[in-house]
Amino acid sequence: MTVGEEIINILENGTTVILDLGNANPEVRNYYSEEITSALFYHQEDKFTKRKLENKCS
């Protein structure tokens, strides 16, 4: 399981994720930023196209 997939699973359970990359090497920061944002984008896009988005805001 990738870091992006792990974060998605945590978020899907309603938990906030804080990932501090402030002191990371720029290459590491860019790698994880790209991986996580891509995973989140494609996950949400998949849910949108399959009409599986839920409004959990109240």
pTM, two decimals, is: 0.76
One-letter amino acid at 5 equals E
CA distance 18 to 13: 15
pLDDT tens-digit readout, 3-57: 999 999 999 999 999 999 999 999 999 999 999 999 999 999 999 888 887 765 5
CA distance 14 to 12: 5
Radius of gyration of the chain (CA): 13
CB 43 within 8 A of CB 8: yes
User: Alpha helix (H) ranges present in the chain?
Assistant: 3-12, 26-49
